[in-house]
Amino acid sequence: MDQDSHCTGERELLEAVSRITTSSTASTSDEEENQPKAEISCQARKENPEKDDMQDSSATLSPNSSMTTKELQEYWRNEKRQCKQIKLLFEIPSTRIVEHNLSKYVMYKIIILQTGSFDSNKSVIERRYSDFEKLHRNLLEEFSEEMEDVTFPKKTLTGNFTEEIINERKLAFKDYLRLLYSMKYIRRSKKFIDFLTRPELQEAYGCLRGGQYTKALEILLEVIGLQERLTRGNPVAIVPTLCAIVVCHKDLENPASAFEYGEKALSRLRVHTSHRYYIPLLDTMITLAYELGKDFLSLQEKLEEWKTKKDPIRVFTLKELAVREYVR
């Protein structure tokens, strides 16, 4: 009798997961619903994410997963929420002319907002003409067909710093970003996401390596919100940034904040236990939990369980992994 009840429970859980997955698929945008199968196949080939770091959030759960029924249900609820696309709006309200040594260039201030509601967490970045030009060149290499009708502001031999030219480019770059974001292949591409986040992340990790944890943390907290919006369907992608925030808080002796962000990172790795950050993060979370008087035994059990399944290998600490990110 107990065995029959157990089997029935498993069947009900699987049916619930199936319903959630079906519902998540049905909630995608009209653009994706009407997309021909050939385009979907093309997208899969083009995006080709790296292992674990870039796995789609709808990855199949492992049959050996140790998650409880409650954890599994919560996981799928989170996945369903993650599938809802966030639409972003790009504004370029101002510019500034920079003169450095013998060079002179214009920096364009880009404000990135979430549409549909008041966005108190807007992201602000700055890029120069050469940054846009590099992005365009990189996208042409990978998305030649999609970029066929996309125009890019050409350089002029003179007058680059006149108010008229600068204002024209402000409008042109605003339309350019809006058009790129409207194309699914491109807005999900690493090249587009890197254009919007990589310079800030490089600066943050440079500060982290130099022991400037306060400055690194300030930058990371500014960029994490934008990263989350840009990688909405791929929550694992922001794990390195979350872990860098953990490292900064820990070294600044803010264990409670470190633990908070560690939990966010760990929740994204729940079904990605082979991810390079999983064990270093788990090890750090055990230390933090012990220090804060929280339950560390369940974390310790997960660590021991992982060790019994994997061959002994050299595992870096969380900080050692973090300082290796964005090394030029």
Q: How far apart are CA 223 and CA 204, in angstroms?
A: 10
Centre a 10 Å sphere on the Cβ of residue 3 and count the other Cβ atoms it contains: 7
Residue 60 domain flag = no
Q: Are residues 246 and 301 in the same domain?
A: yes
Residue 149 domain flag = yes
Q: Write down the pLDDT at residue 315.
A: 80
Q: How far apart are CA 48 and CA 8, in angstroms?
A: 38
Q: Write down the pLDDT at residue 233.
A: 82
Q: Are residues 180 and 267 in the same domain?
A: no
Report pLDDT digits (tens) over 87-99.
899 999 999 999 9
* The total number of structural domains that make up the chain: 2
Residue 309 domain flag = yes
Q: Are residues 320 and 228 in the same domain?
A: yes
Separate counts of helices (H) and strands (E) for the chain: 14, 3
Residue 282 domain flag = yes
Q: Domain of 162?
A: 87-188
pLDDT exceeds 90 at position 236: yes
| Residue at which a domain ends, from 163, 188, 213 | 188
Q: Are residues 161 and 119 in the same domain?
A: yes
What is the band of 117 on the pLDDT scale with cuts at 50, 70, 90?
A: low
Q: Are residues 126 and 173 in the same domain?
A: yes
Q: Are residues 174 and 260 in the same domain?
A: no
Given its phi and psi angles, is residue 321 left (phi above 0), alpha (psi -120 to 50 degrees) or beta?
alpha
Residue 243 domain flag = yes
Please check whether residue 46 is in contact with residue 39, taking contact to mean a CB–CB distance below 8 angstroms. Answer: no
Q: Write down the pLDDT at residue 54.
A: 40
Q: What is the mean pLDDT of residues 130-148?
A: 95
Q: Are residues 149 and 226 in the same domain?
A: no
Residue 67, strand partner residues: none
Q: Are residues 179 and 238 in the same domain?
A: no
Q: What is the mean pLDDT of residues 291-317?
A: 86
DSSP element (H, E) containing 318: helix 318-323
Q: How far apart are CA 255 and CA 246, in angstroms?
A: 9
What CATH number does residue 245 fall under? 1.25.40.10
What CATH number does residue 100 fall under? 3.30.1520.10
Q: Are residues 172 and 209 in the same domain?
A: no
